[in-house]
Amino acid sequence: MLAYALRRLLSTIPVMAIVALLVFSLLYLTPGDPAVVLAGEQASETDIARLRTAMALDKPYAERFLIWVGGAVRGDLGVSVFSNRPVIELIVQRLEPTVALTLGSLLIAIVLAVPLGTLAAWRSGGALDRIVMGFAVFGFSIPVFVLGYLLIILFSVHWDLLPVQGYRPIAYGVGPFLEHLALPALSLGIVNAALIARITRASMLDVLNQDYMRTARAKGLSTSRILIRHGLRNAAVPIVTIIGIGFAMLISGVVVTETVFNIPGLGRLTVDAILRRDYPVIQGVILVFSLTYVVVNLLVDLSYGLFDPRIRY
C-alpha cells in the first residue's frame, strides 16, 4: 500500500510538470511581445521596459521557465503586476473562503446525492426514481449562477431568512459563518449533487443485481443494512471516482459562485486578475487549482482500497 502510494505520488510529478509548462507557455502562445500584452494598452515605453526586466522577459524561454518552476517549487509564484505583492501571499489570504465553500458544497452534494441515488436505484422505475433522475437532469442543466440568484431571490429577498451576499470568516463566530456560507454552498452543492446522484444510481443498479444481494435478503437482513453494508460499499468505487472527476467542475463552479455571492476567495482573485491582466496571479491561481485537482484524484485512487479490500496494491 505504502509502496503503491509512493509510486502514485511520483507519477503525478510528470503531470504537474506538464501542467506547469502549459500554464507557463500560455503567455508565449499568444501573438506579440508578452511585456506589451501584460502592460496593457495604456502602458508607456518605460512601463513595458520595467515589466520586461522585472519578469525576466529578456532572458531565453527555457531559462525563464526554470526560474519560474524553481520558484514555484519553493512556494514563490512571482509578484503581482497590479499590487506588487507576492502572488503566494495573495493566494494564502484568499484561501479560507474558497476552502470553506468547496468543502461545504462537496458535503452538501454527497449528503444529498448518495442517499437519493441509492433510493432511486432501489426503487428503480418507480416514482421516486423518476423524481430523482429528473432532478439530476435539471440540476446538471441549470448554471450555478442562475441557481444562485434563484436561491438568493427566494431565501434572502423573498423570505428574508439568510444574508444576500458576502462572507464572514469562521473566526468571527460559527453562526454568521454558516449563515453566509449556506446559500453559496447549496447552489454549488445541488449542481454537483446531480452528477453524483446519477453515478450512484447507475452503480447501485449494477450491485443490486448481484447474487450476494439476494443472499443478503434471504438471510433476512434489514433493508437499510442491505443497502448500506452490502450495496453502497460495493458501489462505492465509481461514486468516489466521479466525486474526484467532478472536482474540476467544482473548481470552475467556485469561481462563478464567489462572483454571485461576493465572496472574497480565490475565485474573485482570479476574476480580478483577469480583468487587470495580472498574469503572474492568473498563472499562480491556475497552478494551485490544478495541483489541488491532481492531489484530490490521487487521494481518490488511494481510497479504492478502503472500500474494496479486493483492490490490493
Partner 1 sequence: MSAPIAVSAIAPEKSLLRDSARDHPGLFAGAVLLLLVIVAALAAPWLGTVDPQAIAVLDRLETPGREYWFGADLIGRDVYSRTLYGARVSLQVGLGVAALALSIGLLIGLISGFSKAADTVLMRVMDGLMSIPSVLLAVALIALTGASLGNVIIALAIAEVPRVARLVRSVVVSLRGQPFVEAAITAGTRFHLILWRHILPNTIAPLLVQGTYIFASAVLTESILSFIGAGTPPAIPSWGNIIAEGRTVFQFAPHIVLFPGIALSLTVLAVNLVGDGLRDALDPRFVQRG
CA 4 – CA 91 distance, rounded (Å): 32
Q: One-letter amino acid identity for 161? A: L
| Shortest Cβ 253–partner 1 spacing (Å) | 9
Q: Which is nearer to partner 1, 99 or 221 (CB)?
A: 99
| Shortest Cβ 306–partner 1 spacing (Å) | 24
| Shortest Cβ 191–partner 1 spacing (Å) | 10
CA 148 – CA 12 distance, rounded (Å): 35
| Shortest Cβ 256–partner 1 spacing (Å) | 5
Phi, psi of 86 (to 5 degrees): -60, 135
| Shortest Cβ 222–partner 1 spacing (Å) | 30
Decide if 166 contacts 261 (C-beta within 8 A): yes
Cα angle 1, 113, 300 (rounded to 5 degrees) comes to 15
Cell of 128: 421516486
Q: Which is nearer to partner 1, 149 or 307 (CB)?
A: 149
Q: Which is nearer to partner 1, 68 or 289 (CB)?
A: 289
Q: Which is nearer to partner 1, 65 or 149 (CB)?
A: 149
| Shortest Cβ 199–partner 1 spacing (Å) | 14
Binding site for partner 1 (CB under 8 A): 14-16, 18-19, 21-23, 26-27, 29-31, 37, 137-138, 140-143, 145-146, 149-150, 152-153, 157, 164, 248-249, 251-252, 255-256, 259-260, 270-271, 274-275, 277, 279, 282-283, 285-286, 289-290, 293-294
| Cell numbers 503586476: residue | 81
Residue 204 burial (C-beta neighbours within 10 Å; 0-12, 13-18, 19+): buried
| Shortest Cβ 10–partner 1 spacing (Å) | 14
| Shortest Cβ 259–partner 1 spacing (Å) | 5
Decide if 239 contacts 199 (C-beta within 8 A): yes
